[in-house]
Structure 1
Amino acid sequence: MAYKDEKLNEEKVFKDPVHRYIHVRDRVIWDLIGTPEFQRLRRVKQLGTSYLTFHGAEHSRFNHSLGVYEIVRRIIENFKDRPHWDDEERLLCLSAALLHDLGHGPFSHSFEKVFKLDHEDFTRKIILGNTSVNHVLSRVDKGFPQKVADVINKTYENKLVVSLISSQIDADRMDYLQRDAYFTGVSYGHFDMERILRVMRPMEDQVVVKESGMHAVEDYIMSRYQMYWQVYFHPVTRSAEVILTKILHRAKELYESNYTFSLEPVHFRSFFSGEVDLDDYLKLDESITMYYFQIWKEEEDPILRDLCNRFVDRHLFKYVEFNPNQQMSEWMELHQLFQKAGIDPDYYLVVDSSSDLPYDFYRPGEDGERLPIHLLMPNEELKELSRQSDIVEAISGKKRTDHKLYFPRDLVEGLSNRSKTKKRILEILYG
């Protein structure tokens, strides 16, 4: 029997708090789960610094990746023998679903911003490079790793396959909304996934939803909207991200100035030099990163030492509403006042902006075009979701943005009460 068709002697199951069970019968999927590159995802949190806000948010990219695989497996089961579905694409869909987040680094997005990296680039490098994942995929077919990389990269020729993992209603979002809601303990991210899976239908270039399932899709869109503002953009989580980002910036700056660290940051060397190779990338996970932060709590450099103490022991920055576009003169004055007070504004005064577009319809020629969600009407006609749903129309194309200014209140309040600088800083911050 060809490797791609090989089944396990008996089905393996993972007990899962969100989907109850995750089922694996394919030898290829089982072998991929066992690779070091996939097991590394156990050591990367799904929600980065959110555990400092929601203490239950300790779940990993490993949990989420299995969940996305399971949702795709169930969608494909429902698609069997339907028009427009080619069952030859089954293993490709399952592999891409499982591996879609393979390239995430520690504290994902904060880490990427500092070192100007893209986790999707590293996902491709792991899939196509000299790795255990590549060896497993290559046993299916020599061109199979490239196909998996193309699906994740959204360049695969069969757009229906791509839309299962990356669209405005895909397995990735359906898993992370429910999983993140479960582990943070909030109620916003729940929606009727069973109903959505039942009414999904394959079309030539994307998955569509039967019109009878519209209300379940509305619920899904609203749950995504709520999760972004109540969980993903939570200001306390963003405060932790700001400090994490500043730690990495400071360590990089010190490294570039030939500072002598108490422990040579060997795991960060190639990141600091801007030439990250795949081996170095795979060796760095959150447990290693936190080990350095613990060590740096006792570093001689006062800024690195302070920031690491804040992050590890959760003494986070406070925040106020602050729009830099409308308060530029105040921002510049604050910058000068912080310098005057001996508090380095490059590390202790940060404007952070969050924005989200919960749902968008297709607008030709615009940047960031998104394929809309289509409803399949009883007469087989397709209608774009916001044309049928008043709820979705109300939020379509509306980008919400939020700006906050983060600063160490303890350092400001520690200034002398007689200080005019302190008085002016507090006036600007609190009015």
Structure 2
Amino acid sequence: MKTGNKLKIFNDPIYGFITIPNSDIFDLIEHKYFQRLRRISQMGLSYLVYPGAHHTRFHHAIGCMHLMQKAVNVLRFKEVIISEEEERALYIAILLHDIGHGPFSHAMEDSIVNDISHEDISMRFMQKLNIEFNGSLTLAIKIFKGNHERPFLCELISSQFDMDRADYLKRDSFYTGVAEGNINSERLITMLNVVNDRLVVEEKGIYSVEKFLVARRFMYWQVYLHKTGLVAEQLLTRVLKRAKELSREGAKLDASNSLSFFLRNEITTNNFDDAVLETFSRLDDTDIISAMKAWQNHEDFVLSHLCKMIINRDLLKIKLKNKPIKLTTLDKHINALKATYKITDDEAKYFVFIDEISNQAYQSRIQKIKILQKTGKVVDITKASDQFSIKALSKPVTKYYICYPKT
């Protein structure tokens, strides 16, 4: 059994020194489920576009916990009552909010398992840890689910402006080098307050909120929805799809035991039990990369070529349009590929496909960012702001794309 000092300090490139608030948090960070996040990329395959984007979910979770500590201190200074139990639960909930992510984060969400989100898996991990830690995560789970009677506690975990977004925008901006996403997280947190148990931003922080929303829009178009990143993510999901098909047909595929389990079995919400959770906890980016390196030499044309494209960064060509792609254009590229490689229609569709992306920086219909005016009145940011662009940011923008092999 490990013993020693549990009040450790992390040296973070974004915030400087980050302290672990108590020994309970230290024990969670030390747990193998959380340590796995060191092996899960925060931004999937975005490093194929931005070479510096190799930071992990571990970095992000620790950063979120640090910002939550700042938020608790700010709100208490403004005489918002937060008990020690609620404070501890906030730290646990934000620390574990992404613990359910699979390899390469979002890229694998619909490939490893079906009809179950990373949030659902995070909840299952938290419930398992709650048993292991003698029920000490119960309040954190309640807040994570959004069921707490004080809504602002839940909003600090998940809302239009929460500690999750406050960290990942700044962190992803730093590691990608995209300066437009560099928000002033600490300034925003300093402007937080609570009215009627709901989270609000004081009026003097309105320009910081505007910058936050604009930065979010830029980061989505320039980074998260970058066309090269889209292609890489699509190829990765198709690699797993093809591997699943071949595995279930009896083909031998070199893979780790954990990955092989998910290739052979159809895992959904209904059969995602504790045994599956334990297998999932042993799955990370390394399993996928190792498998793709081996599968490059597989006899299957589709699997081998998809893997080579990712490993060697020789990706598909992509074209973005403001209008839906014509089916005649799709068929033209499919037929050309079939003629060149003598493959079937189904095989060709792994390399030629259409899809769409949408960007909405401020989802006002789901949840609003409330501004506390000097008069004491609370209004939505779109009404408080004198910037027309903020209203425009609440409207979704959709783009359409087609991917096909380079000639």
Q: Partner amino acid for 2:191?
A: V
1:53–1:127 Cα change, 3 Å: same
Alignment of 1:273-352 (within 5 A): 273-275=265-267, 277-322=276-321, 325=324, 327-341=326-340, 342-343=342-343, 344-352=347-355
Cα distance in 2, alignment partners of residues 324 and 264 from structure 1: 40
The answer to whether the Cα contact below 8 Å between 1:355 and 1:400 also exists between their aligned partners in 2 is yes
Q: What is the Cα deviation at residue 84 of structure 1?
A: 4.5
Q: CA deviation at 1:170?
A: 0.9
| Among 349, 367, 373, the residue aligned to 2:369 | 373
- The 1:9–1:230 alpha-carbon spacing in structure 2 relative to 1, beyond 3 Å, is same
TM-score by length of 2: 0.90
Work out the CA distance in 1 between the residues paired with 2:350 and 2:109. 18
1:366 maps to which residue? Answer: none
Q: Given the alignment, which residue of 173, 177, 187 partners 1:185?
A: 177
**Matched residues in 1 for 2:93 and 2:300: separation?**
44
Aligned CA-pair RMSD: 2.0
Partner of 2:109: 112
The Cα shift of 1:305 comes to 1.2
Q: CA deviation at 1:39?
A: 0.5
Alpha-carbon offset, residue 405 of structure 1: 1.0
Q: For the residues of structure 2 that align with 1:59 and 1:303, how far apart are their CA atoms?
A: 30
Contact 1:154 1:162 in 2 (8 A): yes
2:230 is the counterpart of 1:238: yes
Where does residue 358 of structure 2 map in the other structure?
A: 355
Whether 2:387 is the aligned partner of 1:395: answer: no
- Unmatched runs of 5 consecutive residues or more in structure 1: 1-7, 362-368, 414-431
What amino acid does structure 2 have at the position aligned with 1:260?
Answer: K
Q: TM-score, normalised by structure 1?
A: 0.85
1:251 aligned residue (243, 261, 266): 243
Give the residue type in structure 2 aligned to 1:239: V
Aligned: 1:408 with 2:405: yes
Contact 2:213 2:393 (8 Å CA) reproduced = no
- Give the AA of the match of 1:372: K
**Which has the greater radius of gyration?**
1
Identity %: 30
Q: Distance in 1 between matches of 2:231 and 2:366?
A: 30
Q: Which amino acid aligns with 1:271?
A: F
**In structure 1, what is the Cα distance between the partners aligned to 2:328 and 2:353?**
15
Provide runs of 4+ in structure 1 moved above 4 Å. 8-11
| Structure 2: distance between partners of 1:48 and 1:295 | 20
Name the count of aligned residue pairs: 388
User: Deviation at 1:24?
Assistant: 1.4
Find the aligned partners of 2:77 and 2:9 in 1 and give their Cα distance.
Answer: 26
Alignment CA distance shift 1:135-1:265 (3 Å): closer
Q: Which amino acid aligns with 1:355?
A: S
Moved more, 13-22 or 42-51: 13-22
Equivalent position of 2:261 in the other structure: 270
Q: Does 1:124 align with 2:127?
A: no
The correspondence for 1:14, drawn from 10, 23, 28, is 10
Query: What is the aligned counterpart of 2:59 among 59, 63, 72?
Result: 63
